Amino acid sequence: MYFASDNSGPVLPGVMAALAQANDGYALPYGADPIMAGVRARIREIFEAPEAAVYLVATGTAANSLALATLVQPFGTVFCSPVAHIHEDECNAPEFYSGGAKLTLVPGGDKMTADALRETIAKEETRGVHGPQRGPVSITQVTERGSVYALDELAALCGVARKFGLPVHLDGARFANALVALGCSPAEMTWKLGVDAVSFGGTKNGCMGVEAVIFFDPAKAWEFELRRKRGAHLFSKHRYLSAQMAAYLEGDRWLEAARAANAACARLADGLRAAGATFLFEPQANMIFARFPRAAHKRLHESGAMYYLWDGPLEGDPAEDVACRLVCDWSATEANIDRFLALVRG
Amino acid sequence: MYFASDNSGPVLPGVMAALAQANDGYALPYGADPIMAGVRARIREIFEAPEAAVYLVATGTAANSLALATLVQPFGTVFCSPVAHIHEDECNAPEFYSGGAKLTLVPGGDKMTADALRETIAKEETRGVHGPQRGPVSITQVTERGSVYALDELAALCGVARKFGLPVHLDGARFANALVALGCSPAEMTWKLGVDAVSFGGTKNGCMGVEAVIFFDPAKAWEFELRRKRGAHLFSKHRYLSAQMAAYLEGDRWLEAARAANAACARLADGLRAAGATFLFEPQANMIFARFPRAAHKRLHESGAMYYLWDGPLEGDPAEDVACRLVCDWSATEANIDRFLALVRG
Amino acid sequence: MYFASDNSGPVLPGVMAALAQANDGYALPYGADPIMAGVRARIREIFEAPEAAVYLVATGTAANSLALATLVQPFGTVFCSPVAHIHEDECNAPEFYSGGAKLTLVPGGDKMTADALRETIAKEETRGVHGPQRGPVSITQVTERGSVYALDELAALCGVARKFGLPVHLDGARFANALVALGCSPAEMTWKLGVDAVSFGGTKNGCMGVEAVIFFDPAKAWEFELRRKRGAHLFSKHRYLSAQMAAYLEGDRWLEAARAANAACARLADGLRAAGATFLFEPQANMIFARFPRAAHKRLHESGAMYYLWDGPLEGDPAEDVACRLVCDWSATEANIDRFLALVRG
Amino acid sequence: MYFASDNSGPVLPGVMAALAQANDGYALPYGADPIMAGVRARIREIFEAPEAAVYLVATGTAANSLALATLVQPFGTVFCSPVAHIHEDECNAPEFYSGGAKLTLVPGGDKMTADALRETIAKEETRGVHGPQRGPVSITQVTERGSVYALDELAALCGVARKFGLPVHLDGARFANALVALGCSPAEMTWKLGVDAVSFGGTKNGCMGVEAVIFFDPAKAWEFELRRKRGAHLFSKHRYLSAQMAAYLEGDRWLEAARAANAACARLADGLRAAGATFLFEPQANMIFARFPRAAHKRLHESGAMYYLWDGPLEGDPAEDVACRLVCDWSATEANIDRFLALVRG
């Protein structure tokens, strides 16, 4: 009963097999391996973006920080949600990689609204050389609270950015989970709306440790390569990154993994709702924030269920509601979910 | 016939097996996995250093840059060889991670001498606030030219550093190759001489992508953890780094891999010498720089042998000598070496 | 009728005279001039802090950024008001000088409250290596909206910082204006409350361009010197910084200049209030934010009065109120103020 | 008898007078003062460069670091002499301002030769993403050893840079001293040869603390303004920088000051040569390195003469030669020089 995060489950068997298969003889290092050529072609195909620049790194923070560092100057600022991973969970990596740029938080909740974004960007305009210069808008899809921006919401955000001439970065650590939730194509969720750069996650959806960074306009490709190397994120034995991503994108493996995770999470949410739980955010993908009585949490805790208590301590009035964060990855089983739900019901 | 680098060969079967074995169920992320606890204990045991702080990252440049960033202030300087990897091959990563520290090159060849180091450090002393402040000495063992510092040479360098109160970093991307060449223990090659921090390589000696950073004094452990996270080098699915390193250090696997690489290289060097080649640096570990006629290079080239021409173009007078760099990893076969040598002989 | 800022008026005659007097013969460069020895002694005397480390720089942004950079690690965060100068008006200088630290904004208005500060710091505690580490609290006195923290308010903020073990920085670009408004001693407004470092402004209160940075604990003095040099803020002809500060602090010159500025501003505020104006913030020092009808603004504008329109455009309904920011420095004259007020009254 | 540096003498009377004159009423801050408009026009006139972007800062290190930071990427390298001020005397400021770029030292002495520069740049070419990318060439004129590049030497260096497509920065902390030594025009010594950016010194030649940064191509002007602000080098009371530079460039004041300094130094050199001294570098401008017996140094020392012993301690065999560095500024008097020479002669 592990629902603490989708960064802790096993690697997809198909990805493991691809690693084993890649482990034969010699391959040119540093991204010149032939598997990478295939990855690049496949991502361009999936995104219907034949010119896109495509690179691999091993962590989501590297993908985000390196992508943003090519989009913002050190005297600029990145617009993002107050709960964005780049703000809360990367220990200043975006500030580090950008040479000291700022993150400007768009007031509001989890999801940015176009109005709040517009107002925030507009406000940043009045100080000339004294304030930071406007830089990219970074949108997280799936958000850090498990929400999925609808396409028209994304379009509105991209529209605001475009109006101000600012590039758009999409933190897609859970890109596939959002995609299958929306039932749209990668192009429809990105460049067709005005997204310029994507952190395309693999790790949380069944890879060992690989993320792609995609620039639809390859103008900054070389700069990205230099920043990746300077950041110590260029792998010598790069073929093992390539092999993961190649297997991940083979056929529908990546979409099926995301569908499995989302379906598991929906089962969990439905069961919780039936048991009387409420949700801090409407369940949409593979992460939920549920509120139910402390007594149930104690039962789960004592049975070894793993998840984060989000709001309220484990000790206290048994009847009082406490909130938790629950995440499913591709490997979540119905049996575990049902066992979890049974414990909730008590 | 791939002798271009030891960063391009296959992963050791035992390491691959460990990855497959680790791929079961859930594991706490970010280095809290149980395999990591074993890795820490094993490295402390191997190094006879029960207090050492031990961390894993995926690239050698990350190991070096993060280790040095904890040892040098942004207004300081690192002393190293003009051919050090940190100077020539990391695209300013040490400068980036340290916040703009300098690298001061110790004049001379591949290996630093204690005299040259002493003189260089002494010279950096006279400018007060105007020049950079003296920082760590970084020594590469095996060097970038395939040489191995003898223990007394290392001791002399460490002695100079200690005299000036400076910490010592060892870039051990090929740590095991040096160790088996010297026939000493890890402690004898490091902290017993005065080394403070080690980049302990796994990747070039048969891992997929893992390096340990070891601080014998754990005082800066927490700072290192923060710098690693901020540098985007903390893996969420960390168990796959742990599993590699655990398998690498299981029994004598790591030493045997290094012995195989060194032995292969010795066979290559002996054969070349017998064929009349000369060496730019005395062969000692798993990398050699050999000079032999261009005609032989052309034969090799046309037969698909992979290695770097070091000095002189491939085209020109066939009788003229041209130099090349040849590297063997654990997987180099006698058959390939003998085939290579036959082509040299013509 | 120049009320746009206190950074645009003339230099105090006594300071100009001191510069002329200092311009005789040779003086050791880089802060070793004898005038600086006197400045150090005088500041220690004024602050009743015989051990304090004292340095001069030429701009307030340099004072703030360099002071903060010695108090925060690159993986840390500075707590400050959303309208702090370090956040809004320094073009990412604090982020730059600190190597990429973050500024965490304490929700609320101009002045931070102890409760909001406590809550903000507490929240930053829960993410271990993932979030930035808590760093210094930076308080602006006089605030950017012309308010003056009472001593008990400052004490409460310092108490919160101390409870969390965090250092306190005081941005005192208008230190003297606050001091005379409160009628307390420098020690009472700083180290007696728990302030660790002060940006002690001279420029806005009648100097040409000089600010002192004061550390009550000199432990980081040498680091500050290196950061100042590395930031290119160490003057070779330092005696001209020293001479400004020496003259500024001679007798009560600095306090008299601040009293003159505050008094001028009070006369302006009183007159405006009598004319029916309201204030966005209670006038306390030498900067006010007044709201009165657009028609009056137009009259002022057409008569060449200089100040910032703060809220609302100059064009529109003449009867509607529009807000402005008005600042007085030591040189503001009663005649100009009365002329201004006459124009407001119409 | 102060010959320690040209950073320690008095400010030119005309510059002091201009500061006093500028101290009247209000002036727009941050470089919008009307005096700055005149400075810009005057520098464009002097340099015959009607499009040039012109900015003022207060220190030479700021001028160099900010200029270089706009010309080099953080993953690049600056080519300079091993004795360049940017390398030896700025405590890593160029590395800091550039975000971690490297300085690549061109082997040789004080002056770079075109051949050594070409070879050094060429060598930096072979590492693709692994090594730093080639960046600007920085030339110091007058050099740190008092030498003056002839125009054809500068042309050759610029030609090498142009061949590789690299920009050229001129560190002209002693620009005027070089100009009058060569008897050429500012344009002839800069953009007509291919110089792109100049640090145009005022401080060492009689100003209080002001340097201009000049870009002949204004494309990076806005970036420079942002970097200056972010570096905390934008003065609020900017008119006092402007006034210094305006007075400095009024008529021939700047050239006369340099001529006076150079003439004083020539008198010193001639007298020393007559007394049997030898020179480490041929005297050409206002700084010399002279070798004469220790006994003479002791006499000078005991008489209070101020200068740097360059080579060899003050104590030892009285007949042995010891080297010293002697610098004259505009204020050096014939009386002091003759007194110095008399002491040398004994």
- With CA atoms as reference, the chain A residue closest to C94 would be A100
- Partner chains of A (3+ C-beta pairs under 8 Å): B, C, D
Q: Classify residue D50: in a domain, yes or no.
A: yes
Q: How many domains in chain B?
A: 2
Average pLDDT rounded to a whole number, residues C228-251? 98
| Interface with chain A: mutation pick from D230, D235, D236, D238, highest number of A CBs within 10 Å | D230
Q: How far is C265 from chain B (nearest CA, A)?
A: 43
pLDDT confidence of D71, banded at 50, 70, 90? Answer: very high
Residues of C with Cβ-Cβ distance to D231 under 8 angstroms: 93, 96, 231-232
Together in a domain, A37 and A135 = yes
CATH code for position D314: 3.90.1150.10
Q: How far is D127 from chain A (nearest CA, A)?
A: 12
Q: How far is B230 from chain D (nearest CA, A)?
A: 16
DSSP B310-331: EES-SSS-TTSEEEEEEE--TT
Together in a domain, B294 and B159 = no
Together in a domain, D67 and D117 = yes
Residues of A with Cβ-Cβ distance to B234 under 8 angstroms: 59, 61
Q: How far is B95 from chain D (nearest CA, A)?
A: 5
Say whether pLDDT at B218 is over 80: yes
Q: What is the 3-state secondary structure (H, E, C) of chain D?
A: CECCCCCCCCCCHHHHHHHHHHCCCCCCCCCCCHHHHHHHHHHHHHCCCCCCEEEEECCHHHHHHHHHHHHCCCCEEEEECCCCHHHHCCCCHHHHHCCCCEEEECCCCCCCCHHHHHHHHHHCCCCCCCCCEEEEEEEECCCCCCCCCCHHHHHHHHHHHHHCCCCEEEEECCHHHHHHHHCCCHHHHCCCCCCCEEEEECHHHCCCCCEEEEECCHHHHHHHHHHHHHCCCCCCCCHHHHHHHHHHCCCCHHHHHHHHHHHHHHHHHHHHHHCCCEECCCCCCCEEEEEEEHHHHHHHHHCCCECEEEECCCCCCCCCEEEEEEECCCCCCHHHHHHHHHHHHC
The residue among C204, C225, C252 that closes a domain is C252
The residue among D252, D286, D304 that closes a domain is D252
Contact between chains at B131 and D74 (C-beta distance less than 8 A):
no
Name the residue facing C7 among D29, D58, D208 (closest C-beta). Answer: D29
Together in a domain, C237 and C278 = no
Chain B residues in contact with chain D using a Cβ-Cβ cutoff of 8 Å: 74-77, 88-92, 95-96, 98-103, 105, 127, 129-132
What is the reported pLDDT for A268?
A: 98
Q: Classify residue C5: in a domain, yes or no.
A: no
Q: Classify residue C208: in a domain, yes or no.
A: yes
DSSP B14-30: HHHHHHHHH-SS---ST
Residues of A with Cβ-Cβ distance to B89 under 8 angstroms: none
Q: Which of the 8 DSSP states describes residue A138? A: E
Residues of B with Cβ-Cβ distance to C226 under 8 angstroms: 73, 75, 129, 133
Q: Per-residue pLDDT tens for C180-205? A: 999 999 999 999 999 999 999 999 99
pLDDT confidence of A127, banded at 50, 70, 90? Answer: confident
Q: Per-residue pLDDT tens for D166-183? A: 999 999 999 999 999 999
- Partners of residue C323 on adjacent β-strands: C291, C311
Name the residue facing B102 among D74, D76, D95 (closest C-beta). Answer: D95
DSSP B193-236: TT--EEEEE-GGGT-SS-EEEEESSGGGHHHHHHHHHHTT---T
Q: Are strands A76-80 and A133-140 parallel, antiparallel or unpaired?
A: parallel
Residues of B with Cβ-Cβ distance to D103 under 8 angstroms: 102
pLDDT confidence of A124, banded at 50, 70, 90? Answer: confident
Q: Per-residue pLDDT tens for A285-306? A: 999 999 999 999 999 999 999 9
Together in a domain, B17 and B127 = yes
- With CA atoms as reference, the chain D residue closest to A101 would be D230
Percent of chain D with pLDDT over 90: 97
Together in a domain, D273 and D246 = no
Contact between A58 and B228 (Cβ < 8 Å): no
Contact between chains at A75 and D99 (C-beta distance less than 8 A):
no
Q: Per-residue pLDDT tens for D84-113? A: 999 999 999 999 999 999 999 999 989 999
Q: How far is C64 from chain D (nearest CA, A)?
A: 9
What is the reported pLDDT for D346?
A: 86
Tell me the helices (H) and strands (E) count for chain B, helix number first: 14, 11
Average pLDDT rounded to a whole number, residues D186-210? 98
Together in a domain, C137 and C122 = yes
pLDDT confidence of B35, banded at 50, 70, 90? Answer: very high
Cα distance between residue D204 and residue A323, in whole Å:
67
Contact between chains at A232 and B97 (C-beta distance less than 8 A):
yes
- With CA atoms as reference, the chain C residue closest to B232 would be C130
First to last CA, chain B: 16
Together in a domain, C47 and C159 = yes
Say whether pLDDT at D125 is over 70: no
Q: Classify residue C8: in a domain, yes or no.
A: no
Residues in chain D: 346
For residue B150, the SS3 value is coil
Q: Classify residue A220: in a domain, yes or no.
A: yes
Say whether pLDDT at A264 is over 90: yes
- Who's near D196: CB < 8 A, 6+ residues apart? D71, D136, D167, D168, D169, D215, D216, D217
Contact between chains at A226 and D130 (C-beta distance less than 8 A):
no
Chain D residues in contact with chain B using a Cβ-Cβ cutoff of 8 Å: 74-77, 88-92, 95-96, 98-103, 105, 127, 129-132
Residues of D with Cβ-Cβ distance to B90 under 8 angstroms: 130
Cα distance between residue A240 and residue A19, in whole Å:
6
Chain A residues in contact with chain C using a Cβ-Cβ cutoff of 8 Å: 74-77, 88-92, 95-96, 98-103, 105, 127, 129-132
Question: Of D11, D5, D44, D6, which Cα lies nearest the Cα of D244?
Answer: D11
Say whether pLDDT at A125 is over 70: no
Chain D residues in contact with chain A using a Cβ-Cβ cutoff of 8 Å: 30, 73-75, 99-100, 129-130, 133, 223, 225-227, 229-230, 234
Q: Per-residue pLDDT tens for C281-303? A: 999 999 999 999 999 999 999 99
- With CA atoms as reference, the chain D residue closest to C63 would be D232
Cα distance between residue A35 and residue D42, in whole Å:
61
The residue among A225, A252, A279 that closes a domain is A252
Average pLDDT rounded to a whole number, residues C235-247? 98
Residues of B with Cβ-Cβ distance to C129 under 8 angstroms: 30, 225-226, 229, 234
Total Cβ atoms within 10 A of residue A102: 27
| Interface with chain B: mutation pick from D68, D88, D95, highest number of B CBs within 10 Å | D95
Cα distance between residue B55 and residue D169, in whole Å:
43
Contact between chains at D92 and B103 (C-beta distance less than 8 A):
no
Distance of CA D235 to the CA centre of its chain: 22
Question: Across all residues in chain C, what is the average pLDDT?
Answer: 97
| Interface with chain D: mutation pick from C23, C204, C244, highest number of D CBs within 10 Å | C23
Cα distance between residue A18 and residue A241, in whole Å:
10
Contact between chains at C237 and D203 (C-beta distance less than 8 A):
yes
Q: What dihedral angle (degrees, nearest 10) is formed by the CA atoms of A57, A58, A64, A66? A: -40
Burial (CB count within 10 angstroms: exposed 0-12, middle 13-18, buried 19+), residue D223: middle
CA–CA distances in Å: residue B230 to residues A93, C120, C133, C147: 4, 21, 11, 37
Cα distance between residue C230 and residue C239, in whole Å:
20
| Interface with chain D: mutation pick from B95, B103, B144, highest number of D CBs within 10 Å | B95
- With CA atoms as reference, the chain B residue closest to C221 would be B129
Say whether pLDDT at B126 is over 80: no
Together in a domain, C242 and C266 = no
- With CA atoms as reference, the chain D residue closest to A228 would be D129
Contact between chains at C129 and B226 (C-beta distance less than 8 A):
yes
Residues of C with Cβ-Cβ distance to D23 under 8 angstroms: 10-11, 16
Q: Classify residue A8: in a domain, yes or no.
A: no
Q: Per-residue pLDDT tens for B294-321? A: 999 999 999 999 999 998 889 999 999 9
Q: Classify residue C271: in a domain, yes or no.
A: yes
Residues of B with Cβ-Cβ distance to D75 under 8 angstroms: 91-92
Residues of B with Cβ-Cβ distance to A208 under 8 angstroms: 19, 237, 240
Together in a domain, A98 and A215 = yes
Question: Of B204, D128, B2, B8, which Cα lies nearest the Cα of A33?
Answer: B8
Contact between chains at C92 and A103 (C-beta distance less than 8 A):
no
Together in a domain, C203 and C283 = no
- Which tokens go with D24? 């009247």
Total Cβ atoms within 10 A of residue C51: 11
Cα distance between residue D195 and residue D161, in whole Å:
10
Residues of D with Cβ-Cβ distance to B76 under 8 angstroms: 92
Say whether pLDDT at C24 is over 80: yes
Contact between B191 and B47 (Cβ < 8 Å): yes
What is the reported pLDDT for B125?
A: 67
Percent of chain D with pLDDT over 70: 100
- With CA atoms as reference, the chain B residue closest to C102 would be B230
Name the residue facing C75 among B100, B129, B227 (closest C-beta). Answer: B227
Q: Classify residue B4: in a domain, yes or no.
A: no
Contact between chains at A230 and B96 (C-beta distance less than 8 A):
yes
Together in a domain, A246 and A278 = no
- Residue D112, Ramachandran bin (φ over 0: left; ψ between -120 and 50: alpha; else beta): beta
Q: State which residues form the domain around D212.
A: 13-252
How many inter-chain contacts (A to D, CB under 8 Å) are there?
33
Contact between D52 and D190 (Cβ < 8 Å): no
At position B16, the amino acid (one-letter code) is M
Cα distance between residue A33 and residue A30, in whole Å:
8
How many inter-chain contacts (A to B, CB under 8 Å) are there?
143
- What ipTM score was computed for the predicted complex, to two decimals? 0.97
Burial (CB count within 10 angstroms: exposed 0-12, middle 13-18, buried 19+), residue D83: middle
CATH code for position B153: 3.40.640.10
Q: How far is C96 from chain A (nearest CA, A)?
A: 5
- For tokens 């209670």, the residue is C282
Burial (CB count within 10 angstroms: exposed 0-12, middle 13-18, buried 19+), residue A218: middle
Contact between chains at C7 and D236 (C-beta distance less than 8 A):
yes
Q: What is the pTM of this model?
A: 0.97
